[in-house]
Amino acid sequence: MTDLSRQRVIVTGGAGFIGCALAERLAAKAEKWVVVDSLHPQVHQVQERPAALVEAAELIVGDVTDPAVWETVLAEIEPTVVIHLAAETGTAQSLNEATRHAHVNVVGTTVMLDALSARGIVPERFLLSSSRAVYGEGAWEKSSGEVYYPGQRSHAQFEAGQWDFPDAKPLASRAAVTVPAPTSVYGSTKLAQEHVLSAWVNARDTTLTTLRLQNVYGPGQSLSNPYTGIVSLFSQLAQRGESIPIYEDGLITRDFVYIDDVADAFVAALALPAEEASIVGDVGSGVGTTIMQLAEAIAAYHQAPAPHITGKYRDGDVRHAECTIDDTLRMLDWEPRWPVDRGVAGLQSWIAEQTAR
């Protein structure tokens, strides 16, 4: 798909963090770019069009789970491309608000597909924003060389301070190899999204590109959402001169990927010709960073007190989450350009601007 000027695009959840970054790059190039977003107050403090959403993007405020919203949307546009970003994303929150996450992430997807089916619309391309949460703890390798899937850590392990699985090391996730085994309701609903969309698309001979995102951060991320991500949270604590609290022993590992790199991956995915577009790819920096390393870098930037270990833990949290991006580098004309130190510095500057305002 090289000529976006002939494409009519619907972006669900497109007024959010990733949606605004993507619209900035592509909305003006498309024949039509329509954003469907509920402007949920957990993400949008003010229920009005975000300043970061470029004028070329038309905004329809509505919930993807509401069939009436889709009646309005599909009367406005017959999409050739659907970019599905709409989702409830709080990993820990999902354990206590399972219905909400399942309703938006799964039912929202099926309501959208039913609306397309009712009108006989088969878009040429679907692009799904999935998550590293589908892997759960992923695969680990024992000292004997055996690869196994340990599953979710138990309360007994947590209470004993046994943060890692014994006699084993974690393996970086890779879509072509790692078996999805989510340990949160959120991860389960994202995997369900993948399955539902795949079934619908395969039955209609169209294409689905799935990008499993690691921990996305950067300018534009909601600073009011308590589930928005630890990079923004840590940054705000350090900016106020507070010591950053660290769960477990500080050696939890994540792959932090900057928003610009994520948006560029979506652009590259949309550029794929149809015959190469049915892929599942991991989008991250390809480098694991411990939570302590991240916190120390942010604290040093603000000259804040050193981070402190609390020994606390979160149910459903995985110990190590990072990915191998070699396959994605081969499939897409893309590579990450923002190492964590540069990305963290860029975020601090943006947060300072927002605070000043």
Residues forming the active site: 186
Between CA 15 and CA 110 the distance in angstroms is 21
Enumerate residues 6+ apart whose C-beta is below 8 A from 83. Answer: 9, 10, 11, 12, 14, 19, 22, 126, 127, 129, 266
> Can you tell me the distance from the alpha carbon of 165 to that of 153, in angstroms, rounded to the nearest whole number?
8
Q: Which string of b and e fits 233-254 if b means at least 16 CB within 10 Å?
A: bbbbbbbeeeebebbbebebbb
- Residue 38 near residue 63, CB atoms below 8 Å: yes
CA 48 from centre of chain: 23
CB 60 within 8 Å of CB 72: yes
- Torsional sign, CA 252, 255, 260, 266: negative
Contact assessment for residue 114 and residue 43, using Cβ atoms and an 8 Å cutoff: no
> What tokens were used for 70?
């889709």
DSSP letter for each residue of 219-278 = TT--SS-TTS-HHHHHHHHHHTTPPPEE-TTS--EE-EEEHHHHHHHHHHHHTS-GGG--
Please enumerate in sequence order all residues whose Cβ is within 8 A of that of 155, keeping only pairs 6 or more positions apart, or say none.
Answer: none
CA 192 – CA 28 distance, rounded (Å): 32
The residue written with tokens 């393996």 in the block is 171
Q: Give the Cα separation of 114 and 222 in Å (integer).
A: 31
H or E element in which residue 83 lies = strand 81-84
Residues linked to residue 215 through DSSP beta bridges, in sequence order: 256
